[in-house]
Each structure stands twice: as structure tokens, then as C-alpha cells.
Amino acid sequence: MKVLVLTNMYPDKENKSMKGIFVKEQVEYLKASSSINYEVLNLDDGKGTALKKYFFSAWVLARKLKEFSPDIVHVHFGLSFLPMLFCLPFTRSKIVMTLHGSDVLGGSKVVKMVTMIGCLFSDKVISVSPEICKVLTKKMKVPLSKVVVIPCGVALAFFEQSKVLVKQKKVIIFPSDPVRKEKNYDYFDSIIKEVEKEQAVKVEILKGLDRKQVIKLFHSAKLLLLTSDREGSPQVVKEAIASGLPVISRDVGDVRLIAAHTSRLFVVENKADMVRESLSILKSDAKPDENYSEFFDTYSQSSICKRILEVYQS
């Protein structure tokens, strides 16, 4: 089987940008663990205008479809379907599309429109969370039979080092770039100000780090706070939990579903609860009890990729 991955969520060739690293890890795991022949067309590789990325790249895609002749085109993120739209008359490849969150839940009407068109022409649509699935089937009228819920998996490296966890500093992590409005840094900052009335802390921003640096940060931190207004299936939450790092989160995306498989994730309703839980963790040296086997069986890369293969084979 030959699979072409078409996406705007993928690290660049120099790995200067770690955008979509979890998509790359999924592809690399499937390459190594199956007989599938993968190729990747990264729409966001290098500099260029949106016109160049999504319209002119249709010519590159058409050539790739002719030369590689994939059995399946796996589109990651709804907007990435745009160049595929122009190539539909020239290919018999089956189409699988994975939707990650803002392509369905975000505010861009253009992105949502392209996503809806992509769903129409896709043979299977993978939603990374039940919330996205609900919007697809209820609001966008995508047939339920076409949609399957599969979150992105966690790389083994996060699990392998979880047993050597050392907590020495009162470090709290903000898990994204503060300029991203949907991540709501102002909410995070307001929590920190309340916490600092009782406990001195150091804030670390999860931005511009490679995988080794991320794991090291998770091991040195005491807590991760997710204050986003919306999420799909937040990868950073799963990776933190796999590393042994407690997470306190607003009720967004599929965090409640993730919480059912771990004792390290605390879902709160308001700021007061988030402050209280943060102080409780910061002041305690005890580690939450954890059954890693259940979490691993649900979210490890091996478990998730097995389900991806089942979609391909169907």
C-alpha cells in the first residue's frame, strides 16, 4: 500500500519549526511498523504566500499523484485539502482526512468551507475528538458512517523517561505561544498572579523547543496549566501526562475523556478551582498514583497507529 500525506502540519526540513511534529511521529511510526510506503507533501515547507501554498501547490501535488500513484491520500488539517480539490479529476486514490480542531472549531469561514468540501470528497474522516465529530455530523451534516474518532498518539520517548521524574523547581508551564489568542495567556497570567500570593513560581513557555527539550522541561516542571478557550484533542496534555507531569485544564476539547484514563489530569470549572488545585500540587511532594498501562493502551503511538491502519484497510 502507498500513502501520500498532504498537510500544512509538518516540521520543515531543517526542523527549525516543530509545527505538526505529532503528525510526523505518526507517519514515521507507521513507516517503521508496517509495509506501507509513505511520502509526504508538506504545504508549509519554506516561505511563501497562502496563494503559493494552497493554489500553486496543486501542480506539485498533481505531479506527485502521477509519479507516486498512491492508494490513499491522507490529508491532515482541513485547509490542506484545497490543492487536492483541483486534482480530483486526475486521481483514483482514496482520501482520508484527519481534522485537528481549528479547521472545524475555529473562526475562519474559509477554512471551514474548505474543510466541508474535503469531508464531501473524503472516503473517511478522522476526528481527533468527540467534540469535533459532533460538529461534523450535527452542523456540517457529514454522515456519521464516514467519521471515526481517533486522537493523535504519544511518542514512546515520553513514556520511556517517565519513571526518572525529578521535581526540584516550582515551575509552571504555559503550553503554547502566548500570541495565539485561543490559548488565552491572559487567563493563565491571572491564575499565576493568584498563585503567587501564596507560592513563588517560575513560568516557562512551551515555544521553540525540540522534543528532547520538551521532555526535559516536563521533567523539571511541577505543573502544566491549559487555559485555552478551545481545543481539539490537546497533544501537549497527553505528552505531559505520559511524562509524569500533572496537568490542570479548563474543560475544553476531549480533556475529560483523557482524564478518565489518568489520575494526573484535573479538569476544573473556574479560576478559583484552578488556583486551588495549582497550590495543592505545588505544595505537595506526593506523586499522584498512576496506572500507566491504561493510559499507554489508549494513547500510545502503537495503539493509535493500529487504528489508523484499520481505517486504511477499510
Which pLDDT does position 284 carry in this prediction? 82
Neighbour count for residue 256 (Cβ, 10 Å): 13
Specify whether 256 is located in the same domain as 289: yes
Confirm whether 310 is domain-assigned: no
Specify whether 81 is located in the same domain as 121: yes
Mean pLDDT of the chain: 90
Q: Where are the beta strands (DSSP E) in 194-271?
A: 202-205, 223-226, 247-250, 265-268
pLDDT digits (tens, 9 = 90+) for 228-280: 999 999 999 999 999 889 999 999 999 999 999 998 899 999 999 999 999 99
**Among the listed residues 295, 20, 305, the one whose alpha carbon sits nearest the alpha carbon of residue 159:** 295
How much is the pTM?
0.90
Confirm whether 303 is domain-assigned: no
User: Residue 307 carries which DSSP code?
Assistant: H
pLDDT digits (tens, 9 = 90+) for 28-71: 999 999 999 999 999 987 566 676 778 888 999 999 999 999 99
Instruction: Please measure the distance between the N-terminal and C-terminal CA atoms of the chain and give it in whole angstroms.
Output: 13
Specify whether 145 is located in the same domain as 9: yes
Specify whether 165 is located in the same domain as 293: yes
Which CATH number belongs to the domain containing residue 36 in this structure? 3.40.50.2000
Residue ranges making up the domain that contains 291: 156-297
Q: What does the alpha-carbon distance between residue 127 and residue 136 come to, in Å, rounded to a whole number? A: 9
Confirm whether 107 is domain-assigned: yes
Specify whether 138 is located in the same domain as 179: no
Work out how many domains the chain is built from and give that number.
2
Specify whether 100 is located in the same domain as 194: no
pLDDT digits (tens, 9 = 90+) for 122-144: 999 999 999 999 999 999 999 99
288: pLDDT strictly greater than 80: no
Confirm whether 137 is domain-assigned: yes
Which pLDDT does position 169 carry in this prediction? 65
Which pLDDT does position 289 carry in this prediction? 56
Is the torsion defined by CA of 86, 92, 93, 99 positive or negative? positive
